[in-house]
Amino acid sequence: MFDAHRRTFLNGSAGCALAALMPAAKAQARVVTRPALHTAAGREMLIIYAKAVGAMMDSSKYPEGDPRSWTFQWYTHMVRGDRTKDAELQRIYSANGTHRELAKLMWNTCEAHLDARREPFFLPWHRLYLLAFEDIVRVVSGRADFALPYWDYTDPDLSRRALPEAFRSPKHPILKHLFRPNRNPGVNQGQPIDQPAGSRAPLSLDFMKSVDYNESEEDAGFCANIDGTLHGAVHTNVGNRIGMGRVAWAADDPIFWVHHCNIDRAWASWNRAGGVNPTDPQFLNEEFTFAGPTGEPLRRKAGEAVQMQDYQYDFYIGADPIPATKPLLVTNRAVARASARDINLSTATRQVKLESGATQVGDRPTLVAAPLKIDPEKPAYLKMEGLSADRGAPAYDVHLAAMSSVTKRRSAPSYVGTINFFGAESAHSGQGDAHGGGHSAGHGGGQDEGSAAAGAAGRSVSFQLSKALKQQLSQSGLAPYVTFVPLSGGAKDAKPRIRQILVSGS
């Protein structure tokens, strides 16, 4: 049985041949271990980190146009939401030069929130981004032993689900550099970020149950599920619309980096439990551009991220081995689907009656209401495809039941999970030249966040169904309903949409 909170300790003397990230010619150095924030090692690293952030933000030491500056590193993820990339290039650089050319390549290259079709690169791009940033901090701080600490907000200890005190200490002479005012109410006061439950998404580790890395017909896959659940939940729980809660502003908050450290740790933990990364050459050979420790261009491939040879973690998220059972082919399963047309959500509860049937229209079935017969002993999934929205969409608790009346509590058997629209929202005004470079040719040009998020692909997320829920669905003889319960705080004009809902089993 999956244990979300069991953790495995990795002793520093363990014989793992992992090297610290260095420039290419200097690979093969000491082992670097990333510590948890709450440990003594983590607290030591936080002081180094805070001093480095302060230096990187100091334009007298690192002007904005220097690849080691805070602005340059932030803009690698995405340029701030109230300005365009072109305008910022013109403002910061008075003339052409090496750093300007690097900025043109690097800025606005976050994977995969600019194009949902590139979802498989979400994890490797952010891993390489962290590694490059970590190496810059080593140079800026003069501490070659620096390792980014991670924030384990899934710890059952409620106090550790609060923003660490170091990030909410604006009057501290050193830690003040880690403070940002653009956070949700209560966050800078130490309130756990998943509280209150009615307005904040839970910090679930259910994505660890994913069998495959990539999307299949019925399962969104590990990469999409961690992106669309825990990753986005922390972003939207912590930050407001000019902070962590928006892709364009997120990397300006120093908590961003330790948050993504924990997401990276979850990926490493899934691999340790038996999860297999993609092996196809097209994926492994995809290249990205970052800044090296002295500001030079650094080209890294996705395959380098998959190998994870540069570091280790002090603890890993515990999990039973990934099950060998693969998602079933569409021809071997009972299926219930909603209409192929968009399902529009709002700030009110919305129910969708799922349907199944045999009428075919084009390449999509037109379906009729029918009971869903699935085997409770075999895997079954609720999958939502094509998530998109305008700005400010709320998160939604999702319930599945063989009746229209459900208890809207997370403790109810009908509750399957919570979705959010972080990274699936339409463009802000600062996305004029959103994806002009930074990874290999063949995917570039002026696509903005809006056209990507709301485009043909959209984002997917899925949840495995519990045995009790599968039994209820199979025995009821009724067509199932999906109920979306909005959490508080969403904008009324956000227009969240889901292209398709699918329940599948065998």
CATH at 146: 1.10.1280.10
In this structure, are residues 49 and 178 in contact, taking their beta carbons and an 8 Å threshold?
A: yes
Helix (H, G, I), strand (E, B) or coil at 216: coil
> How confident is residue 320, by pLDDT bands cut at 50, 70 and 90?
low
Residue 9 is assigned to a structural domain of this protein: no
- Tally of domains in the chain: 2
Residue 452 maps to a domain: no
Query: 240 and 198 in one domain?
Result: yes
Percentage of the chain beyond pLDDT 90 is 67
Given a cut of 70, whether residue 287 has pLDDT beyond it is: yes
Give the residue, 284 or 320, on which the prediction is more confident: 284
Inter-residue contact 379 to 469 (CB < 8 Å): no
- 259 and 349 share one domain: no
Cα–Cα distance, 357 to 334 (Å, whole number):
10
Structure tokens given for 76: 């690698």
Same domain, yes or no, for 234 and 359? no
25-29, 202-206, 317-321, 441-445: least confident range = 441-445
By DSSP bridging, strand 415-419 and strand 396-401 are antiparallel
Question: Encoding tokens for residue 65?
Answer: 């146009």
At residue 489 the predicted structure's pLDDT band, cuts being 50, 70 and 90, is: confident
pLDDT at 181: 98
Characterise 308 by phi-psi region: left (phi > 0), alpha (psi -120 to 50), beta (else): left
Calpha distance 165→173 (Å, rounded) = 14
- pLDDT band for position 319 (cuts 50, 70, 90): low
Position 341 scores a pLDDT of 56
pLDDT of residue 325: 61
Tokens matching residue 472: 């209820």
Same domain, yes or no: 291 and 142: yes
Q: What is the length of the chain?
A: 506
Same domain, 294 and 339: no
Between CA 493 and CA 307 the distance in angstroms is 43
Q: Same domain for 478 and 377? A: yes
Same domain, 277 and 383: no
Determine the straight-line distance between the first and last CA of the chain, rounded to whole angstroms. Answer: 21
Question: Worst-scoring range by mean pLDDT, 238-242, 263-267, 426-430?
Answer: 426-430
Q: Which of 42, 262, 51, 254 is nearest to 143 (CA)?
A: 51
pLDDT of residue 473: 86
Could you tell me the residue range of the domain that residue 339 belongs to?
Answer: 334-427+457-505
Q: Tell me if the pTM is above 0.75.
A: yes
Whether 109 and 235 share a structural domain: yes
Residue 83 located in a structural domain: yes
* C-beta of residue 244 within 8 angstroms of C-beta of residue 163: no
Tokens read off for 491:
């904008």
Task: Looking at the structure, tell me whether residues 339 and 236 fall in a common domain.
Answer: no
Same domain, 149 and 225: yes
Q: Please say if the pLDDT value at position 342 is more than 90.
A: no
User: Within a domain: residue 435?
Assistant: no
DSSP state of 378: S
**Same domain assignment for residues 211 and 342:** no
Mean pLDDT of 208-213: 95
- Averaged pLDDT, 106-119: 92
Q: How far apart are CA 69 and CA 58, in angstroms?
A: 8
497 - beta bridge partners? 344, 388
The sheet carrying 481-486 orders its strands as 350-353, 481-486, 396-401, 415-419
